[in-house]
Amino acid sequence: MPIQILPCPTPSGCTPERIPYHSMSQKKPNTKKIKPPKGTRDLYPEDLLRQQYITNAWRDAALRCGFDEIAGPTFETTELYAVKSGEGILGELFQAFSGKSPKEVERVKETGQAEFALRPEFTPTLARMYAAKAKELPQPCKWFTAGPYFRAERPQRGRLREFLQWNCDIIGVSSNGPPNGPGHNETMDAEIFAVLVRLFEDLGLTHDELIIHYTNRQAVVDAMVRAGLSKDLSEDALWLLDRRSKMSHEAFLSEADAIGLDLETFEKSIQSQSSDAQFFTDELMDAIGTHDEYKWYGWDPSVVRGLAYYTGTVFEAIADGERAVAGGGRYDNLIELFGGPPTPACGFGMGDVVLGNLLEDKGLMPTGSDLMDAVARPQASIRPVAFVVPNGDENNEALVHTLVANLRRGIECEQWKSRDDRKPWDRDRYRVPPMHARVTYKSTRNLKKLRSDAEKQHARFFVEIHADNKVELTNMDTREPITSETHGSFSIDPTAENYVGTAIAARS
């Protein structure tokens, strides 16, 4: 049917050129300046580039450490956060309330809560997502996400009402002992710590400027019970301890007395944890497997984390003069609360505001053309570049951890390291660039099955470690072995001429 163009109707006696303007607004221009909402940011071009520098670094570190990216909604049902996040989070929700539905109005009158809220954190969403498809998902799931979050709290340095947050989580690695106490396998915790260290190193931060403080939440609860606290009040006490630095000493003492926590006895009980601390530290360091990273960690029983879903190890990355740059821990019971099977899990969150402040203060935030180049540089491959396995011998397990850490970290140029003016974003920083490397989580050492696992994960190269630091390399696209022209096999030694990382980088 052809389109008809109809004449525009005009008031009687008026031609189109002489339409009166009686219906047009005659309001004066609004000269009042309207500011952005408190606790939010307007990001102009260079501001946005600085934020992108941070989010690119997050994504790069997560990909290289074998995490897959996911996303969830920016608002959820309020009920999701009531399940296990704790009263602290519920008091910081931005709730969505239209007031148009009688049912909605009645709900707010009865409970004081709207049906929906902007997300203040990601872990409950992740638990809901995992529980919904637990039977279909691989074991373990290593997931990361980065996006906007919202908290109705008082804005201050390092804390805004709208911010970006990076989350990394591992779900489904089994434990070998009691899930919340001494004896459980620390592999999951060590992997989560490692991705944090990769990020800090990428950004030029050192262990002199920032330490990952960790403890075991159950050990702290045991100390409080020894101090006379009822175990039923342990969650209240943990929340209070987490807020200790955010309240006056008098207010803290009053709250502690109200729940029956004898602080003097508690402090003595905490100090008596030395044997537990040594056990947890030894277990964790064994799982980390590389001595170069030990200096990033320190046992600290004052770290408890206020969220109610934590069960075992908890930690915070803390820099001098800043609130926690990152924080997280084990939440082995949360998946089950959302209808999934009992599933161990561990993860952390990191906001862009505190990290940005830290980089600015340390002179580690690029500017001008350096910033543009840093944001535009290629990121880690989404596709795994190397899939590393041991060849049968149990003694090769430690070699796998060492090689994977070096592949993910990259090998820096000696010339760059010797420069006084070096910056982490310099193009000539690496002799062998960092890369996306993965390992197997299966107990089998059958090479045929492991190759199949590498193929399912679409790895580009299959890296097989033998005794004496020797490595066999296979191109998974062509199924052809790759040999060193001078040595035949490759080496895990990054200083060797035939270092396997150099061979992989040259072919990637």
CB 148 within 8 A of CB 164: yes
CB 235 within 8 A of CB 217: no
Angle, to 10 degrees, between the axis of helix 397-409 and the axis of helix 187-202? 30
Fold of 45-74+119-379: BirA Bifunctional Protein; domain 2 (3.30.930)
What pLDDT is stored for residue 239 in this prediction?
Answer: 72
CA distance 483 to 503: 9
Residue 237: both structure tokens together: 């006490």
What pLDDT is stored for residue 175 in this prediction?
Answer: 42
Pairing of strands 437-439, 297-299: unpaired
What pLDDT is stored for residue 14 in this prediction?
Answer: 46
What pLDDT is stored for residue 205 in this prediction?
Answer: 96
**Cross-strand bridge partners of residue 432:** 411
What pLDDT is stored for residue 200 in this prediction?
Answer: 97
What pLDDT is stored for residue 361 in this prediction?
Answer: 94
What pLDDT is stored for residue 6 in this prediction?
Answer: 42
**Is 351 in a helix, a strand, or coil?**
strand
Classify the C-alpha dihedral 102-103-104-109 as positive or negative: positive
Q: Which residue ranges in the chain fall short of pLDDT 50?
A: 1-16, 19, 21, 23-24, 175-184
Quote the distance between the C-alpha of residue 298 and its chain's center: 19
In one-letter notation, the amino acid at residue 339 is G
| CB-CB neighbours of 372 under 10 Å | 14
Count Cα atoms within 13 angstroms, Cβ side, for 82. 11
First-to-last alpha carbon distance for the chain, in angstroms, is 57
Residue owning tokens 């990001």: 43
What pLDDT is stored for residue 3 in this prediction?
Answer: 44
Helix spans in 368-419 (H): 368-376, 397-409, 414-417
CB 491 within 8 A of CB 500: yes
CB 500 within 8 A of CB 473: yes
Q: What is the pTM of this model?
A: 0.85
CA distance 200 to 114: 39
**Is 401 in a helix, a strand, or coil?**
helix
Strand ranges inside 119-269, DSSP E: 141-150, 162-171, 210-216
Query: Class assignment of domain 381-508?
Result: alpha beta
- The strand order across the sheet containing 94-96 reads 75-77, 116-118, 94-96
Name the residue ranges covered by the structural domains of the chain.
45-74+119-379, 381-508
What pLDDT is stored for residue 18 in this prediction?
Answer: 52
Count Cα atoms within 13 angstroms, Cβ side, for 285. 15
CA distance 261 to 256: 5
| CB-CB neighbours of 278 under 10 Å | 11
What pLDDT is stored for residue 305 in this prediction?
Answer: 73
What pLDDT is stored for residue 247 in this prediction?
Answer: 77
Is 75 exposed, middle or buried, given 0-12, 13-18 or 19+ CB atoms closer than 10 A? Answer: middle
Of 219, 234, 248, the C-alpha closest to 306 is: 234
Beta-carbon contacts of residue 287 (< 8 Å; ≥ 6 apart): 185, 186, 187, 189, 190
Of 429, 324, 420, the C-alpha closest to 363 is: 420
